[in-house]
Structure 1
Amino acid sequence: MRRIGLALLLSATLTVPAVQAQQNLSIATGGTGGVYYPIGGGLAEMIGQHIEGHSAVAEVTGASVENMGLIHREDSDLAIALADTVYQAYHGTGAFEGRQVEDVRAIASLYPNAVQIVTLQGSGINSLADLKGKRVSVGAPGSGTEVNARAVLESNGVSYDDFTVQRLNFNETADALRDNDIDAGFWSVGPPTSSILSLANSRDIQLLSLTEEEVKNAMGAEAVFAPYQLAANLYEGMDAPANTVGIPNVLTVNAAMPEELAYQITKVLFEKVDELRAIHPAANDTTVEFSMGSTPIPMHPGALRYYEEIGAEIPDRLRE
């Protein structure tokens, strides 16, 4: 009887289905002083709470350019990157000449970045031309900020040979300005950003305003640039608005991601977007309409399935 009972117990044990392993997704973001990291962290929480069998974590990276490599190698499951970087990666142009990332696909455009050029009051820097001969941070190596900074500068007749180039991340740039180790710095990030907010609390800052011609020249250099105005009082001591250019930020994945998972991520992003907005105001621009109008590369089939399901008008360029 004992042997029969043991055999029955073993048989029953073998027929119990195994518990599905939790799949942990990696979200490539940027530095902790920007917007990518909190937005990525918020999205990670949403995935863990609303997609059964999945969790996610936001990873600190060098941002846009590096993130495209992570997606291509499938070292990250999702990544946020600037639209111009994503466009260049997909088409194998610009910084991606000879190393096309043809397997990158979009889920959505999240919010627009603004190119923010910051100096301290009394620096004597009031225009792009005034950066000549100065010490200027153009963003972290491998970041979309540097891609944007170079485009804005070179389209307006200023080259890296004209000033001392520093490649610092957002927090390092703010610290260097605070300590007078540099004269100006570029941020390409959703405003307001924590590192500039912190700097403005300790030093009197000034944001450069591009002229109408400079904005036009920059737009001629990058198809994804659009005019953008930083509002007065965005940062402490900023008494007047500043004109610049804006660039969408795109949530990307590898084309190999399962369609159902891409669909679920897209669905959660838009149907639970208030959770993301509670984490950072940049997500106020996270809408289906913004995604349809701003995304520069084809969407993943799973994302398209969601957009079709809700009746969105999908431009032809977003289909393969």
Structure 2
Amino acid sequence: MTQPLSRLLRRWFAWLMALVLVMSLATWFFMRDTLPPVIRIGTAVEGGLYYEEGLSVAEALDRRTSHPTEVVPTSGSQENYERLRNGDIDVAIIQSGTVSLNGLAIVTPLHHDVVHVVVRRELLDESAAEGQVTSMMDLAGKRISVGLPGSGMQPSARDVLTHYNLVDRATLREVHFTDLLTDDTLDAAIITSGVENGDLRNVLSSGQFGLVPLDSQALARRYRHFDPYEIPQNMWPPVPDRPIPTVAASALVVVRDDASDKLVRLLLDSLFEDNLLSHFSTMFAPQEARDLSPARLHPVTRRYHDPFGQYGLMHTILEGLAAGKELLFALGAAVYLAWDRWRRLKEKENQQQVHRQKERLDTFLEQTLAIERKQMSVDDVQQLKKLLDDVTEIKLRALSNLTHEDLRGDRTFSIFLMQCANLISKIQRKIGSTSKD
């Protein structure tokens, strides 16, 4: 391969590396694992458990990152689902079984959302005569709160009412269950929430209401998102006066499928490592969350709960390499371009040095030519010896100063050496001939 062709190929390769550098940096910039400008957490109505948990998670995130975080009050699970899919929020708490999980990934189960069938105490007393409520079937003809539109309470309430064939045999009111305290026309409410819900506590601690049991095994068999559950006696003293069988779904922390891995990891750290369990006693511990984890779990959560995946040195290295592969490409391209730039500078410096030495070689050649012309008209032995010494000195200075490897292989340098050798031989012959005469 000729030198110009080799130089051209190197130049093309340098341009290719420059393109790789630009593309790698652009890919890293636009696809790097970043947090949303503001982390918005969709919860439920203020005063509810979802809202209180959202506030605690936001505070934990702020302690960890000082990143802007906003808790967004909503009507509940269904509104959270719509707003999350539309990009209005980044994290949501939803009740399992109330919305589709298409396009979403589960960060973790959070706590049990328990179905509470709350009924006015006067309807539970024997003195209620024909209107007495002792079971779900007795709610036929009653006015029942099933939760706000967009909440997760409505779908679970309708599941329960459907099971007991009460959907068309009761008056269903789309209002919040706290209206029980101010609206005497409401007879009951079907409330699906964690038992630590502050609004639920206020209702049941008022002494005006009691709880009706459910056929937990039958409901759990019919609806996969329900599990059998028992509300302990005196959970909200004096309610209930005995353990109440019911069912429970799971509250889930969810994000979009394309959510940042960094966001998911921060959420998990905030939930399980910032002492939130001390504030919410019914919140799942890491072991419980891992055992209850459903299929659509985010990959980061799977690694978080896998001791070998989480703490293995090789996994950590591979995860870091995968996260920064674009930067590694960019670094490689940058190193090559820096080396290529250094090499070209050295080549240029080398060429300049060769050029300077060629100019000196031309000077030495001219000096030998001047001596050759001069010796043609000189017959004096002493003068000829002086010219011989001058030629030898020029040759020695050239050999001493013109040391560049590229110049030593140049044809002009060979001509110079030959010129010096011929001139020395010629002068020596002339000195010998003159001495005999």
Give the Cα separation in 1 of the matches to 2:52 and 2:292. Answer: 22
RMSD, aligned α-carbons: 2.2
- Structure 1 equivalent of residue 236 of structure 2: 235
**Based on CA coordinates, which of the two structures has the bigger radius of gyration?**
2
* 1:68-122 deviations in Å (ceiling 9; x for gaps): 111111211100011112xx412xxxxxxxxxxx210011001111100111212
Counterparts of 1:1-320 in structure 2, within 5 Å, are 23-50=37-64, 52=65, 54-85=67-98, 88-90=99-101, 102-123=102-123, 124-159=132-167, 161-169=168-176, 173-210=177-214, 214-238=215-239, 239-272=241-274, 274=275, 276-283=276-283, 286-309=284-307
Unaligned runs of 5+ in 2: 1-33, 124-131, 311-437
Q: Return the letter of the residue paired with 2:61.
A: I
The separation in 1 between residues aligned to 2:250 and 2:143, in whole angstroms, is 28
Q: Is the 8 A contact 1:119 1:177 kept in 2?
A: no
Code of the residue aligned with 1:202 in structure 2: it is S
Q: Contact between 1:70 and 1:76, CA under 8 Å: does it hold in 2?
A: yes
Asked if the contact 2:277–2:285 (Cα under 8 Å) also holds between the matched residues in 1, the reply is no
For these two proteins, the number of residue pairs brought into alignment is 268
Kindly provide the amino acid, as one letter, of the partner of residue 256 in structure 1: D
Higher relative contact order (CA 8 A, sep 6+): 1
- Give the structure-1-normalised TM-score: 0.78
Asked if the contact 2:196/2:280 (under 8 Å) is kept, the reply is no
Give the number of the structure whose residues are more often helix, by fraction. 2
Identical aligned residues as a percent: 26
Query: Match of 1:229, as an amino acid?
Result: E
- Equivalent-residue separation in structure 1 for 2:157 and 2:186 (angstroms): 16
Residues 120 and 309 of structure 1: CA distance in aligned 2, closer, same or farther (over 3 Å): same
Could you tell me whether the CA contact under 8 Å between 2:35 and 2:260 is conserved in 1? no
Query: TM-score, normalising length from structure 2?
Result: 0.58
Please identify which structure carries the higher strand content.
Answer: 1
Shift of the alpha carbon at 1:178?
4.7
Q: Which runs of 5+ in 1 are unaligned?
A: 1-19, 91-101, 313-320
Is the 1:151–1:221 contact (alpha carbons within 8 Å) kept by the matching residues of 2? Answer: no
Flag the 1:200–1:249 CA change in 2: closer, same or farther, 3 A. Answer: closer
Q: Which runs of 4+ in 1 moved over 4 A?
A: 309-312
Kindly state the Cα deviation for residue 311 of structure 1 after the two structures are TM-superposed: 5.8
Structure 2 residue identity aligned to 1:149: A
Structure 2: distance between partners of 1:245 and 1:232: 16
Q: Tell me the equivalent position of 2:382.
A: none
- Measured in 1, the distance between the counterparts of 2:266 and 2:194 equals 25
Question: How has the CA–CA distance of structure 1 residues 215 and 202 changed in structure 2, closer, same or farther, with 3 Å as cutoff?
Answer: closer
